[in-house]
């Protein structure tokens, strides 16, 4: 099943946004409504990342295809949409195996992302603190470590944009040992930040009285705190 968004709805305002096709499998035991709701959420994530969805593709299968996740016929169908609508990425609602991602990139010649990679890209866009940026890059590198083999040439061809923020192409093109060294450095940097924060917290706590209120949800913690402190918490 393919749902195409009307081209007139994004021609005027999406020239700067990457065009995407979103794809889901409806497996046994999953209702059409559940699939639709999940794709609604995925479309929201694409928009949050700065893209625009031009088509939705749903295939009913007992289980994912080992090589392409979706069937080969559906891959051919998506390729037609990619060429007709000038699509720049295809986003899958489920996690893809490394081999599935590489095979799809070869067949479709566009970026292939799954939900996890898309979410990490959104975090990369929004990270502001040094600690946040380190955490995002660390997560991305660990996620992509198993996807490094044979990826440098493909990513160079596919270019930048959504799904390539954070460590980006340059990090992906280096060898595994350099990636592992980078991960170790990021972990050390993160630990130093946490130690500094802990020291600052201890200094602050040594200068003021501290206490804790513990209780179940809706047990009256906020009510008690307001009564004790005469403040609006």
Weakest mean pLDDT among 13-17, 72-76, 104-108, 182-186: 13-17
Provide the pairing of β-strand 18-26 with 51-60: parallel
Are 20 and 91 in contact, with CB atoms under 8 Å apart? yes
Give residue 230's pLDDT: 85
Q: In DSSP terms, which residues pair with 22 in a beta bridge?
A: 56, 91
Q: Is the pLDDT of residue 92 over 90?
A: yes
Most confident among 1-15, 54-68, 205-219 (mean pLDDT): 54-68
What whole-number distance in Å separates Cα of residue 160 and Cα of residue 169? Answer: 8
Mean pLDDT on 144-163: 59
In degrees to the nearest 10, what's the CA dihedral of 5, 124, 92, 96? Answer: 170
Residue 90 parent element (H or E): strand 89-92
Mean pLDDT on 168-172: 51
Six-digit token string for 37: 């709701």
Give residue 20's pLDDT: 96
What whole-number distance in Å separates Cα of residue 59 and Cα of residue 42? Answer: 16
The pLDDT > 90 percentage for the chain reads 52
15 burial type by CB count under 10 A (0-12 exposed, 13-18 middle, 19+ buried): exposed
Q: In DSSP terms, which residues pair with 161 in a beta bridge?
A: none
Mean pLDDT on 29-39: 93
pTM summary value = 0.69
């Amino acid at each position: 099943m393919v749902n195409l968004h009307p081209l007139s709805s994004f021609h005027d305002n999406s020239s700067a946004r990457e065009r995407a096709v979103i794809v889901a499998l409806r497996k046994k035991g999953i209702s059409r409504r559940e699939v639709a709701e999940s794709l609604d959420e995925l479309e929201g994530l694409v928009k949050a990342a700065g893209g625009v969805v031009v088509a939705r593709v749903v295939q009913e299968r007992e289980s994912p295809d080992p090589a392409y996740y979706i069937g080969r016929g559906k891959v051919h169908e998506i390729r037609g949409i990619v060429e007709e609508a000038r699509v720049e990425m295809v986003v899958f609602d489920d996690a893809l195996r490394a081999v599935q991602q590489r095979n799809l990139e070869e067949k479709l010649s566009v970026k292939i992302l799954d939900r996890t990679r898309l979410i990490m890209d959104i975090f990369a866009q929004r990270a502001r603190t040094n600690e946040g940026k380190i955490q995002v890059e660390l997560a991305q590198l660990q996620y992509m470590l198993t996807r490094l083999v044979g990826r440098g040439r493909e990513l160079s061809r596919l270019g930048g944009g959504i799904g390539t923020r954070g460590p980006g192409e340059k990090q992906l093109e280096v060898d595994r040992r350099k990636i592992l060294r980078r991960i170790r450095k990021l972990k050390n940097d993160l630990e130093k930040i946490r130690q500094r924060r802990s020291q600052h917290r201890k200094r602050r706590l040594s200068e003021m009285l501290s206490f804790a209120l513990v209780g179940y949800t809706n047990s009256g913690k906020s009510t008690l705190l307001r009564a004790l402190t005469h403040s609006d918490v």
